[in-house]
A and B are shown apart, each in its own frame.
Chain A
C-alpha cells in the first residue's frame, strides 16, 4: 500500500469510517500481536499491549503525518510497550525464571517435532530482549533489514549485529538437539 492511499485510509479511520478502521486492524493486528507475544511470552499481556498500541494509534490518527508507514509506527509502539513491561517485570522474571520443558528423547516423530519446537521456543524466549526483537522482526515476520531497524530505532549495522548474535546463540543451544536427532 502506498503512502498516499495509506494516509487517506488513516484519515478516513480517524473520522470514524468503520470500514477503514476494520481494514487497518485486520491488516496489522495479527503481526503486532505475534510480536508482542514473542516478546512478552504471555498471551494476556500480548493482548493488552496490542490493544494499547491501537488505542494510541486511534489517538494519533487525527494528526497523522505520513513520515513512516503505519505498520512501522505501530510495531515500534508495540515494541516500546513490550520493553516497558519487561523492564517492570524484570526482577520478577529473574527471581522466578519460567519453567522450560526438557525434551526427553521419544520414538514418536510427532512428539519429537513438538519437543524440537518447544526447545527452539524456549531458546528464543531466553534471548536478550533486543536480539529477540530483531529475530522476530526479520527471521519470523519477514521484514526487511531497513524496516526492522526503523521499528527498533537502531542502525542497520546494529540490527545485523543483534541478528548474528541471536542466531549464533540459537545454533549453540540447539546443537545438542540437532546432533541427538542426527545420531538416531
Chain B
C-alpha cells in the first residue's frame, strides 16, 4: 500500500517552497512527488541523478513529475507498477479543495497519510474573506490536518497569536506549525517512518534525519536544514500496544486538542475487529484508519504507534500512561 500525503494551499502560500524542502531533504522512503507546476521545482543540481525534462530523479529516493492524465487514472496505473513508491505526495493547485483529492487516496492500494495545507501568514485571513476565492480558502483550511503557517517572520508576534486563535476556528481539525520558507520537519508532513522507529521516548530532533536511513547516502553529508532540525522543538514517542486496543478510547486520545499530537502513525488491532490490522495515521485532529489486507500484514510494526507532538501540551510520559489505558482486557 502506498501512503498518500496531499499538500494544498492557496496560490503563493508557499506550497512550492514546502515541496522543494521535501525534495531536498528526502523522506527516507521511495517517494513520488506529483507537483502542481514542474517548472517551479528547484533543487540543487548535485542532488539530481536523472532528469528528462518531465521527470526528475533525486539521489535521496524522491522522484518528481507533474500530472499528464487525470489523477484517478494516474493512481490506478501507479498501483500496478512493480516500481511503485512507498510514499506519494500530491501537491494540488492553488484553488483545489484538498478533501476530494484526498478521497483518491482511499481506493485499494493506497492509504491517506494526511492533508497538509500551507497558509501565508500575511494574507490568509484577507484571502478567506475575498469575494471570489474566500470560499476556496475556507474549504482548504477546513480540510487540513496540519496547517503550515508560512512566512511567520513577516508578521508581528501579536498578529501571529491572533492568527493561531483564528485558525483554531477556521481550521478546526488542524494542528498549526509555524514556518519560514516552507521549512518544517519532514516527519510532520509525511508522518513518522515506522520501519526505523525505536520504542520509547525520543530526543527532540531524532525524527528529522530521514536521509540518515538512506544507505546510499554519504555519511558525512551536510544537511541543509541541520541547524533548523537541531532546534526542532517536537518530541517523538513510540508506544507498544501489546495487544488489541479499545477503538473509542484510542480515538478520544488521538482527537484530543490538549494531547498536543501533531502526527502519529501505527499498526494496531482493535478489540471490535480482532481479525485484522488497521493502519492508524493521525494528522492534527484528523485520524485516518485503513484496514490492512491479509497479504499486507505487518508483523514488524504490529502494535506500535509512533507519535510526534509539541511540548508542553505533548507530555510523553503522561501520554504513554494514558495510552496504556486503551489496552483491551
Whether both chains belong to one complex is answered with no
- Chain B residues close to A by CB (< 8 Å): none
- Chain A residues close to B by CB (< 8 Å): none
